[in-house]
Structure 1
């Protein structure tokens, strides 16, 4: 793929967002006091989001191959401008905003758009940050985020449903964007497409999708917590706490398995997650985790298609309950949540790559 095709320096596609057929937001069920509205529509295959210092909402995609900037120019919590920052990329699902720059993850490369908000609507030529990632498309799309020490965390999914593979496959690594040095943070991670850092300890917490073809109810997706560099989380030999894989055995590595903090349900496809640190929601939400569950594709009865809340006390799970449901109606779904992100006012955005939409959930004190 030629760079000239990937990027058009100093140009962009600016679209003023209009209204199309209304999505059935009345079907979404939320706790008392919460409401949901449409923040943006026609955002094709919307995946991970990142928030700029000036309030720009950046959105990646997977199938669409595009990266967007959404601008709410009149501060009414509805985007009225959409800028296509890049197109024809290799599954640019993951992105992060750091020190004024937008970082975009293709399957095999990391790009940086310097001073992105200062230049909009003009898009300057991006800088290649790192190009040593595997180019396997299977579980190759990324979710990226900068950690407390300023390193960029990047997952590398297993190139299969279940298999033995060499590192860096089935891992999460961190990249020093200046020296280009990488460190394996977690091993035995089948496919993480969501993580965040504990607001007190700074430790990495992440979701991981369980393998397929073990039936409707095995194994669960996981919420995991790293406490030291290089921990092993079992894949492909052991799933969850002690479910041994029927196809692959390695007793030595299986003993290294770090059990999940919480099992999330089989095939729910847990993706983006975030520790809520806003000021708008009730106190019970402080430092709880919101997890977007994309929903099952190969289960007899569909599950997921929702956003869940995990309540913590001293890093221990005390509750796991629905926060936003209604995208699944019986066996029919009209939306699939992918990522959650808190705005500066304390409301949250939810991306949906099936309905091509971004929703805003806000709270009004009763």
Structure 2
């Protein structure tokens, strides 16, 4: 059963998809959906923003190399920081994790550094709430491992432990219980120009067995699904995707672009990572016939490749783990970067010599096609092969600066340009 939220200019009302709430909904969720207090303590878990740890992160940032005119600063200490959603009012920034917390970051004095980082909605039990995304009208969506929630007016309610919440996809209905894995379950979400909700569903294998093909095609596992914002009219939007942990709609033509992590265990230099563009619903991007780019997988090398497979717009170095991405649609960076894609490379585990742990830039031409990716911010992987940080996501802020999340160091960084 589904519940959803309806908003009007003056009122915010919580509606239920049926007359009674499901019996397995925890009591606190029933109360929140009924706009009732749960009795959760106002004593929020907060994160210290000064001291020895913050000082060391600032010291580590001295290793990061940027193009001339750019600088990077510590914006916030945020444990396990993954995907970022900047509130449309610019009041607060919400940060997902692969654990059980969502964090809310506030820069109250607007000095471009966080004053407060605290746990968001502590009365809700989250499970891998990696995917956070906003609609333009202020609804925060959280895509968990196997549930999707919507929280209206999150930039207002975040001051309280209790928040208005609706269930878009019930627990256990995002993917079948049989496919609820520990692997590739960091979901990402976006609201499209069509006002629909888009969610990536990584498949749990390195290369899935053939007997899973029919189920995965039906459910959109190893693909991207879309639905109305109330969770109805679920559709499979794209297939042939191994594990996308970054996607964004182009501000130019409104097309959905996404990164894709490719097959492990094929060697240091193959297959490449991918940046892809979806031109229309139903397109197939080649996995598992291809492990990345035009490199065939061993498991499917004798299988006929579908004729309609779409090649990537751009490829990246093998095993760098391309994750979050965002289009630069602001004005404060030089003209070169406007309309292009910033993306985070988390860094390799499956390589003799590690690569990645950096922020990339990919230009996008007036014709809507991608140019060659280039390194933009580098230095979280030092010369001895030690990770000082692992970038996960990037998000353009209201002032045109770029936020970068790091789940190893547990931080958000702010990259700005000084003309």
TM > 0.5 between the two?
Answer: yes
Unmatched segments (≥5 aa) in structure 1 = none
Q: Which structure is larger by alpha-carbon Rg, 1 or 2?
A: 2
User: What residue in structure 2 maps to residue 26 of structure 1?
Assistant: 62
Query: Which of 171, 189, 195 is the equivalent residue of 1:150?
Result: 195
Match of 2:339 in 1: 287
Quote the residue 2:255 is aligned against.
203
How many residues are treated as equivalent by the alignment?
Answer: 363
Q: Is the CA contact 1:238–1:254 (under 8 Å) kept in the aligned structure 2?
A: no
Q: Which segment is superposed worse, 328-337 or 114-123? A: 114-123
Aligned residue number for residue 90 of structure 1: 127
- In structure 2, stretches of 5+ residues that fail to align are 1-23
Q: Quote the residue 1:119 is aligned against.
A: 157
Tell me how far apart the structure 1 counterparts of residues 128 and 417 of structure 2 sit (CA, whole Å).
Answer: 34
The equivalences for 1:3-152 within 5 A come to 3-4=26-27, 9=38, 11=40, 13=44, 15=46, 17-19=48-50, 20-21=52-53, 22-23=56-57, 24-41=60-77, 43-55=78-90, 56-62=92-98, 64-86=99-121, 88-98=125-135, 99-122=137-160, 123-131=162-170, 132-134=173-175, 135-152=180-197
Match of 1:347 in 2: 401
**Structure 1 stretches (4+) deviating beyond 6 angstroms?**
5-8
SS across alignment from 2:363: strand
Shift of 1:251: 4.0
CA distance 1:16–1:233, shift in 2 (3 Å): closer
Following the alignment from structure 1 to structure 2, what is the Cα–Cα distance between the partners of residues 326 and 25?
8
Judged with a 3 Å threshold, the aligned counterparts in structure 2 of structure 1 residues 255 and 10 are, in CA distance, closer, same or farther, namely farther
Q: Which has the higher helix share?
A: 2
Q: Secondary structure at the match of 1:117?
A: helix
Distance 2:38 2:164 in 1: 5
Aligned residue for 2:370, secondary structure, equals: strand
Q: Alignment partner for residue 207 of structure 2, among 135, 149, 162?
A: 162
TM-score by length of structure 1 reads 0.94
Q: Which residue in 1 is equivalent to 2:7? A: none
1:148-188, CA deviations, whole angstroms, 9 ceiling, x for partnerless residues?
11111101111111114322211101111236111111101
Does the aligned pair in 1 maintain the 2:276–2:312 contact within 8 Å? yes
Task: Please identify, of 168-177 and 25-34, the stretch whose mean Cα deviation from structure 2 is larger.
Answer: 168-177
Structure 2 residue aligned with 1:278: 330
1:146 Cα shift? 0.7
Give 1 or 2: higher strand fraction: 1
